Amino acid sequence: MNPGFPSALVLLDYFGIAVFAVSGALLAAEKKQTLVTFIFFAVITGVGGGTLRDLLIDAPVFWVHSNGTLLICIAAALAVWLTSRRRFAGKALLWFDAAGITAYATYGAAKALGYGVAPVPAFAMGVLTACVGGIIRDVLAGEPSILMRPELYVTAAALSAGLFVVLALAGSGVWIAAAIAIVAGFALRSAAIARGWSLPAYRD
């Protein structure tokens, strides 16, 4: 493994985990569930994408050998449990989540490259890292999956992951590549939130 990619961007990993853990706990709040369900949803959303990524690239599953990841998820669940959901309501969470998916997509692609994964699969690993946790969360809660929504969500993650791979392979510094990838993905997701942009649906 090339340690320069994942280790330099570990803060992006923690940020993405925290954002998605909060989103999982918020869905439990909407369903008026117990604290146990809050924690379960926070954990499954926070680690779901990264777990699948690590299994596919033959890396040690990132949360198994340290306490920090699960503690972040538990803390996120407790924070939502103890705070009125109205504080997280509206577009504030959407903006926070936009930053989370782009950071997590970038980190996922970086880690895959660091483990010697080919560029196109590394791009796919970035998208999976950012999106799979939310998909699992929605399926468990009986909510429409993000894959079934026309909004530019997965597309923003794909833009960040793809840009990082291209820039990293072109020789850009890891933080320069990450910054450009995150800003571009966040800008696309922000435009979708502010202007209601979505992908065209299939028409027969």
Write out pLDDT tens, residues 59-90. Answer: 999 999 999 999 999 999 999 999 866 666 56
**HSE toward the beta carbon, residue 187, CA cutoff 13 A:** 8
Residue 68, in any domain of the structure: yes
Task: Tell me the pLDDT band of 7, cut-offs 50, 70 and 90.
Answer: low
| Local confidence band at 1 (pLDDT 50, 70, 90 cut-offs) | very low
- Per-residue DSSP letter, 198: B
Q: Name beta bridge partners: 198.
A: 151
- Of the two residues 1 and 56, the one the predictor is more confident about is 56
Residues counted in the chain: 204
Higher local confidence (pLDDT), 204 or 14: 14
Burial class (CB in 10 A: 0-12, 13-18, 19+), 172: middle
pLDDT-above-90 percentage for the chain: 56
Assigned domain for 200 exists: no
With CA atoms as reference, report the closest residue to 2 among 122, 162, 116: 116
In a domain, 201, yes or no: no
Residue 142's pLDDT is 87
Q: Give whole-number Cα distances, 113 to 66, 68, 101, 122, in Å.
A: 22, 24, 18, 6
Three-class DSSP category at 52: helix
Question: Between residues 89 and 35, which one has the greater pLDDT?
Answer: 35
User: 158 pLDDT exceeds 90?
Assistant: yes
In a domain, 19, yes or no: yes
100 within a domain of the structure (yes/no)? yes
> Is residue 3's pLDDT more than 60?
no
> Does residue 160 carry a pLDDT above 70?
yes
**Domain residue limits at 133:** 4-195
Of 177, 111, 134, 118, the closest CA to residue 42 belongs to: 134
pTM value? 0.87
Residue 93 counted as domain residue: yes
pLDDT given at position 147: 78
Residue 146 has pLDDT above 80, yes or no: no
Task: Tell me if 204 is assigned to some domain.
Answer: no
Task: Please tell me the total count of domains within the chain.
Answer: 1
The 10s digit of each residue's pLDDT in 85-136 is: 666 656 666 777 788 899 999 999 999 999 999 999 999 999 999 999 988 9
